[in-house]
Structure formats: C-alpha cells, structure tokens
Amino acid sequence: MTGNWGLMLSGLAAKELKVRYKRSLLGFTWFLLKPLFQTAVFAVVFTRIIRFGGSLRHYALFLFTGLLVWNFFSSSISAATTSLLDNVRLIRSIRFPRAALPASSVAANAVHLMLSLLVVEALLLAYGHYPPVSVVLLIPALALLLAMTTGLSLMVSVWNVYYRDVSLLLEVLLLAWFYASPVIYPLGQGMLPPSIEAALRFNPVSGFLEAVQSLLYFGRTPPTWSWISMVCWSAVLLAGGLAVFRRSEPAVVKEL
C-alpha cells in the first residue's frame, strides 16, 4: 500500500511539473528567476532607499536564500489549495489516495527547492560564505519543512472545496505572512525590538528560515529555538492536516 501511494505521489508530481512547464521556453529556470527578480527589487529598496540591510554582508544573498524557502512554502500552499478542484474528473473516475493530490503539489515544488538550493550554495561559496560541518542538518530541516507544508496543504485543499473564498483569502494572508517572516530581515542581529523578535519566533515559518539561513548564509549551527519550532509545528500541522483530510474525504468526494 505504501509503495502504491509513493508511486501515485511521484506520478502526480511529475505530471504537475510537465504541465506547468509545457510550452515554456525557460522551464525550471522560472523558479530561480522569480526569487532573483524579488531579490533585486528588495536589495535596492532595503540597501539603497531604506538602507535596512546595509549592515549585512552580501545582503542580496541573504535575501535570495530566504526567498527560495519562502517561495517553496507559498507556492506549495497556493497550488495545493485548488488541487482537488483541478482534478475533479480524476477523483470521480478512479479510487486512489486523494491526499496524494495536494501532497504532489508540495513534492513538485520540493524538486524546485532542492535544485535551487544547489545554485544558491554555489553563489554563497563564490562570495566566501562557507557552510559549517553541521550543514548536514539541512536534510532533517528540509524534511520537517516538507512535513509542515504538506499538513497545511491538506487542510487548505479541503477547505477550498467547501468555501471557494479560501484561495482568494490565502493570497492576502500569504502577503501578510511574508512580512511577518524573517525573509527580508534576520533574527538575532539586533535589527528588531526584542519583544517583536520574540513574537516572530512563534511564526511557523521562522524556525525553517532561521535554520536554512544559519547553515548556508551565516555558516553556523541553527539555534535551539529553531529546532523546537520546526519539530513542534511540523508535528502539529502534519497530524492536523491528515486528520482533517481523512475525516473530510468522503464528504469532499460527494461535494465534488
């Protein structure tokens, strides 16, 4: 059963990647171009205009590293939101684990993330940002990120079947969530008031951003709080997502 689920998930993820880049001249490169364009805009704004990131060495690389993680998270959630509605004919025609549909959106974006991190690591090395020996901790950190994102994806995919406003509301929430996450600013650098920084650590995404930025950009082992955050949020949201999906699946199939 587990093997069949895995084959279904990989097949759906491959299908999504194929459809996404059909008739696209640049293909996968778009997953890099989007954060690159964002990096260029934010770097100019926060180093030349507001001068927020001027104190960080190679601020553009700090931005790029965080944006890759954030774009994986936001793109996965956004794609998963409509995954059930986009596959109504498939759901009605055959029996299969429907959770594979939102999970495949996460898996497809995970492929992008892994390849993109190889590119950003090459850039970081070129500019003298060398990873610590503990860089192997990136593997469990990314595994936890996939788990948390999958849990949230399962939830929003179900909710969007009942309330189509979810996909629209999500766009607004993700925008606010972005600025409440340490993507354009680092934690632990004295740039934010202690009270605000303490509150931001409860953000589900903060621990993951802190871990990836610490290992790749700052060249240090992630702090303990980030691991506690990653483990707790991934466990709670994945368990919650699976529970919501399993309980709602029969009714969702009828609704579709």
**Annotated domain spans of the chain:** 2-255
CB 229 within 8 A of CB 134: no
pLDDT of residue 15: 60
pLDDT digits (tens, 9 = 90+) for 57-104: 888 899 889 999 999 999 999 999 988 888 888 888 777 778 888 998
pLDDT digits (tens, 9 = 90+) for 125-159: 998 888 888 899 999 999 999 999 999 999 999 99
pLDDT digits (tens, 9 = 90+) for 206-222: 999 999 999 999 999 99
- Tokens matching residue 234: 């991934």
Decide which of 230 and 171 is more confident: 230
pLDDT digits (tens, 9 = 90+) for 8-25: 566 666 666 565 555 545
CB 153 within 8 A of CB 106: yes
- The SS3 assignment for 249 reads helix
Average pLDDT over residues 93-117: 87
In angstroms, rounded to a whole number, what is the distance separating the alpha carbons of residues 239 and 190? 35
